[in-house]
Structure 1
Amino acid sequence: MAPDLISFSLFALSSILIVVNPLGALLVYNSITEFMDSKDKRKVAAYGCRIAGAVLIFFTLFGSSLLSLFGITISAFTVAGGVLLFGIGMEMVYARTSRAKVTATEKYESIDAEDISSMPLAFPMISGPGTITTVIVLSQDTPIFSEPVELGIILGSVIVTILITYIVLISSEQITKRIGQREYRVVNRLMGIMLMAIAVQFIINGISQAFPMLTGSAT
Structure 2
Amino acid sequence: MDKLLISNFAASLFALLNPLGVLPIFIGYSAGEKRTVQRWLALFVALTALVLLLIFFFAGSSLLRFFGISLDSFRIAGGILLLIIGIGIVNGNSSQAAKDLIAEDQQSDFREAQLVYRKIVIPLAMPLLVGPGVIANVILYATEAEAKKDNALFVGLLGTIIVICFLVFVLFLSGRWLQKIVGDVGLNIVTRILGLIVAAIGVQFMITGLSNIIVNSLTPEILKVR
| Fold match (TM-score > 0.5) | yes
1:108 aligns with 2:105: no
Q: Distance in 2 between matches of 1:145 and 1:81?
A: 19
Alignment-mate amino acid for residue 138 of structure 2: V
Q: Distance in 1 between matches of 2:9 and 2:151?
A: 15
1:71 aligns with 2:68: yes
Q: Distance in 1 between matches of 2:207 and 2:3?
A: 22
Select which of 33, 39, 53 maps to 1:36: 33
Q: Distance in 1 between matches of 2:33 and 2:147?
A: 42
Percentage identity across aligned positions?
Answer: 27
1:16 aligns with 2:19: no
Q: Is the 2:13–2:134 contact (alpha carbons within 8 Å) kept by the matching residues of 1?
A: yes
- TM-score w.r.t. structure 2 length? 0.82
Which runs of at least 4 in structure 1 moved beyond 3 Å after TM superposition? 109-114, 213-219
Q: Deviations over 1:57-95 (max 9, x none)?
A: 121122011122123332222212111111111122123
RMSD (Å) for aligned C-alpha atoms: 2.5
Deviation at 1:18, TM superposition (A): 0.9
The correspondence of residues 85-100 of structure 1 with structure 2, limited to 5 A, is 85-97=82-94
Bigger Rg, which one: 2
Alignment-mate amino acid for residue 182 of structure 1: V
Q: Of Structure 1 and Structure 2, which has the larger fraction of its residues in helix?
A: 2
Q: Distance in 2 between matches of 1:52 and 1:74?
A: 24
Query: Which segment drifts farther, 163-172 or 5-14?
Result: 5-14
In structure 2, the CA distance between the partners of 1:134 and 1:145, relative to structure 1 (3 Å rule), is closer
Q: Distance in 1 between matches of 2:61 and 2:119?
A: 29
Query: Which segment drifts farther, 131-140 or 31-40?
Result: 31-40
Q: Distance in 2 between matches of 1:18 and 1:136?
A: 16
In structure 2, the CA distance between the partners of 1:151 and 1:110, relative to structure 1 (3 Å rule), is farther
In structure 2, the CA distance between the partners of 1:145 and 1:73, relative to structure 1 (3 Å rule), is closer
**Structure-1 residue corresponding to 2:105:** none
Q: Distance in 2 between matches of 1:181 and 1:139?
A: 35
In structure 2, the CA distance between the partners of 1:79 and 1:43, relative to structure 1 (3 Å rule), is same
Q: Distance in 1 between matches of 2:28 and 2:219?
A: 51
Alignment-mate amino acid for residue 140 of structure 1: T
**Structure-1 residue corresponding to 2:154:** 151
**Structure-1 residue corresponding to 2:185:** 182
Q: Distance in 1 between matches of 2:98 and 2:188?
A: 23
Q: Is the 1:81–1:133 contact (alpha carbons within 8 Å) kept by the matching residues of 2?
A: yes
**Structure-2 residue corresponding to 1:100:** none
Deviation at 1:33, TM superposition (A): 1.7
**Structure-1 residue corresponding to 2:140:** 137
Alignment-mate amino acid for residue 176 of structure 2: E
Unaligned stretches of 5+ residues in structure 2: 103-114
**Structure-2 residue corresponding to 1:165:** 168
Q: Deviations over 1:170-194 (max 9, x none)?
A: 0011001111222222222222211
Deviation at 1:56, TM superposition (A): 0.6
- TM-score w.r.t. structure 1 length? 0.85
